Amino acid sequence: MRLRTILIIGGLAFAVPLMAATNYRLLKQIVLGGEGGWDYFEVEPDTGRIFIPRESHIQVLDSDGKLLADILHVKGAHAIVFAPELKRAFLSTDGSVTILDTATLKVAGEVRLPDKDPDAIVYDPYSKRVFTFNGGGTNDATAVDAQSGKVLGSIPLGGKPETAQADGSGHIYVNVEDKNKIAAFDSKTLKVLNTWPLSPCEEPSGLAIDVAHKRLFAGCHNQLMAVVDYTNGKVVATVPIGKGVDANRFDPGTGLAFASCGDGAITAAHADASGKFSVVQTIQTRRGARTMALDPKNHKVYTVTSEFGPPPAPTAERPHPYPAVISKTFTLLIFGQ
């Protein structure tokens, strides 16, 4: 059993594992193949299954990376979130939210979001609502009742939203990437409560939450991870990370905060006995492994990437195009201690 010490930071008691030194290593590398891009993916809390949206389909894996199912006939799937008590998953898709029955792994419904471009998605168990975060010029969030599928309203965010987190007490926090801020809103009234600057963080993308200690971990494109006290919006620490961050995760069992970066590394950070956050391991992954998922039960970290060819020629619409993905090379990387 890991021994723990208690430290007090700003009136909060933190239980810190004394044996928090990490030795994450690559356990498995599995070529899953299949076509389609990828973005956010998640571990189902109750089962440990991994759901990876791939635009027109969703690959479902067990915790060891074995393919269990391939759910077809979805359109433009970006991100997925789970409502375990409802036995449902919700996907942000092209102009809609797609509802999955997690028992049958079949599409159970669709909620149309006209004129919206949903990307990130979060489920709030407090209000039993799903929230999509919409780019494409609307720069807002949409609230959907998770049981009925009814659209309940929108929340203007004043900029391009990225990843969001719910604290379980009726508050949603979301990165506003182009404004270098985090917005906080009430999940029931749909009112914005606060908008906090993230300086020195720029272009926040990934976001993780530590509910016990009221901390957010924002991955920023100027190669920083910002630690934010969400009781007052103050940036209490920063740690260096790699280039091209797109996901952050927090493991409450180890106290580790992770940032996955497209340059081929995952940064793991931890607070020491004095409360200072620092990098405790840089986990080497592969180029393009910018998103990730974490299972807090087995403490495994999952990331995905592919092999790449040369990028297409720049255009006025896409002056910095992504390199071409080589067909059938999509790969899952599993890391553990």
pLDDT tens series, the chain, 337 aa: 333 434 444 444 444 443 445 799 999 999 999 999 999 999 999 999 999 999 999 999 999 999 999 999 898 999 999 999 999 999 999 999 999 999 999 999 999 999 999 999 999 999 999 999 998 889 999 999 999 999 999 999 999 999 999 999 999 999 999 999 999 999 999 999 999 999 999 999 999 999 999 999 999 999 999 999 999 999 999 999 999 999 999 999 999 999 999 999 999 999 988 878 999 999 999 999 999 999 999 999 999 999 999 888 888 888 878 788 899 999 999 999 9
Q: Is residue 317 part of a domain?
A: no
Element (H, E) at 269: strand 265-271
Rounded Cα–Cα distance for residues 81 and 243 (Å): 26
- In which domain, by residue range, is 64 found? 7-312+323-336
Give pLDDT, residue 2: 38
Give pLDDT, residue 222: 98
Give pLDDT, residue 273: 80
How many domains does the chain contain in total?
Answer: 1
Give pLDDT, residue 116: 95
Question: Which strands form 79-83's sheet, in the order they lie side by side?
Answer: 79-83, 88-93, 96-101, 106-112
Rounded Cα–Cα distance for residues 50 and 335 (Å): 14
Residue that the structure tokens 């280039």 belong to: 243
CB 233 within 8 A of CB 194: yes
CB 46 within 8 A of CB 53: no
**Cα 184-167-152 angle, rounded to 5 deg:** 65
Give pLDDT, residue 21: 53
Q: Is residue 318 part of a domain?
A: no
Q: Minimal CA–CA distance to 114: which of 142, 89, 88, 90?
A: 142
How many CB atoms are closer than 10 A to CB 64?
14
How many CB atoms are closer than 10 A to CB 111?
20
DSSP letters for 178-225: GGTEEEEEETTT--EEEEEE-TT--SEEEEEEETTTTEEEEEETTTEE
Distances (CA, A) of 286 to 26, 190, 263, 283, 307: 11, 40, 7, 10, 9
Indicate the burial class of 170 (C-beta count within 10 angstroms; 0-12, 13-18, 19 or more): middle
Rounded Cα–Cα distance for residues 218 and 207 (Å): 5
Question: 41: domain CATH number?
Answer: 2.130.10.10
User: Which of 124-127's residues contact partners 24+ apart within 8 Å by CB, and which partners?
Assistant: 124/166, 124/168, 124/170, 124/172, 124/187, 125/83, 125/85, 125/166, 125/168, 126/166, 126/168, 126/169, 126/170, 126/187, 126/188, 127/170, 127/187, 127/188
Give pLDDT, residue 14: 46
CB 109 within 8 A of CB 99: yes
Q: Is residue 136 part of a domain?
A: yes
Bridge-based pairing of strands 245-251 and 234-240 is unpaired
Rounded Cα–Cα distance for residues 122 and 5 (Å): 33
CB 39 within 8 A of CB 50: no
Rounded Cα–Cα distance for residues 254 and 214 (Å): 16
